[in-house]
Amino acid sequence: MIDVVMVLIVFFLIVGRLASDRAGVRLAESGLGRVDESTPAVTITIAPGPVPPGAAAPAQGAFAARVVVNGLPVADEAELERLLRDAAARWASEHPEAGAGEAGPAETGDGPQAGSVFARLPVQVAADKGLGFERIRPVLAVCARLGVIEVGLITERAP
């Protein structure tokens, strides 16, 4: 009996966590694309709403939308960059077969390094369909600045 109760508790904790990651996000619909069953290293959710507490108005580098990375609220570009660097280091240690390179700055004079761990870091972005691109652009700019090239957009399958 205790085993059944424990399984139910774990189930509802997992479902609750998944539901809270995308709470308030209405995904865009798409009839194209592929279904990616793999678990991304990083999931970035961009939702309408107030910025996290502590930033009354979007300051320089602060996001003009609610940004959540793997369940953690993010206030500005510097914090997003730190979380992406941490995720890249963790992903590289979990996937040695990917031939992970450095997890430091991924830029040279010619742009991102092809051997950088950021070039192989899978990132998925779930953005609310009501948000304009100007509110999503800063998140994508941080990914580009680090050299993340594997960015997928999460959408709903069109009927």
Please report, in tens digits, the pLDDT of each residue of the chain (159 residues total).
Answer: 788 777 878 777 776 655 544 456 666 555 565 656 666 678 899 888 765 555 444 455 567 788 888 888 988 889 999 999 998 888 888 877 765 444 444 444 444 444 577 888 889 888 888 888 888 889 999 999 999 888 888 877 777
Residues in the chain: 159
Tokens of 152: 């997928």
Torsion of CA 25, 30, 33, 39, to 10 degrees: 20
Q: What is the pLDDT of residue 13?
A: 72
Structural domain boundaries, residue 103: 2-157
Q: What is the pLDDT of residue 19?
A: 53
Domain count, the chain: 1
Q: What is the pLDDT of residue 110?
A: 44
